[in-house]
Amino acid sequence: MTLAFAYVRASTQAEVRQGSNERQKDVIAQYAKSRGYELEFFEDRAKSGKNTQRPDFERMLKSLDAKPKVVIVAKIDRFARSLSDLLRMLEYLDQKGIGFISVNDPGIDTTTPNGRLLLQILGAFAEFERNMINSRTKAGREQAMNRGVRFGRPPLKTRNGNFIDRRKVIELKDRGLSARAIAKSLGCSITPVLRILRENRLPVE
């Protein structure tokens, strides 16, 4: 028989007590029987989908060298935390030549041409969403800068409250001054001078 990995998960102890994992196993077992798959189950109990510490999920990934034909779940939300997480995991499985089937999500079967097409469409939507978020973030940043909002590290100042000219620090360093001498020349502590030198990969001695 062809080997398939099956993953089931319950988010809470209440779900465990209500038999969520057992119902998932039954659904997967019935499907696997119809396809002639030999199942190896991996099961996490009371582990939220947002929880990155899912021991049996990690054990399953580390066991993929056993070369299962597919990974089967009852529902996608038992497997991935988000669309981007799902697509990343499916790409990882695909690189290993392993398919993915979600029994109760029609069309989610990467062993078929239609299933692969659907995932490509989902991937395109995910990329579109990322681009939209990046565009909104960029527009918001530009508007904030137009209002005078400053981003990045706060400017470095001297003891008198004057801004430290970073170019002046580099210029004095190029003249051979030590960090301590530069700080004395600019009337500031040595700490911001050292930071500027390190940021520009200049010697700090």
Of 11, 34, 135, 178, the active-site residue reads 11
CB atoms < 10 A from the CB of 101, how many? Answer: 23
Q: Which of 60, 62, 72, 8 is nearest to 36 (CA)?
A: 72
Sheet holding 70-73, edge to edge: 37-44, 2-9, 70-73, 99-102
Asked if 11 is an active-site residue, the reply is: yes
How far is 106 from 103, CA to CA, in rounded Å?
A: 7
CA distance between the termini of the chain: 69
| Residues with active-site annotation | 11
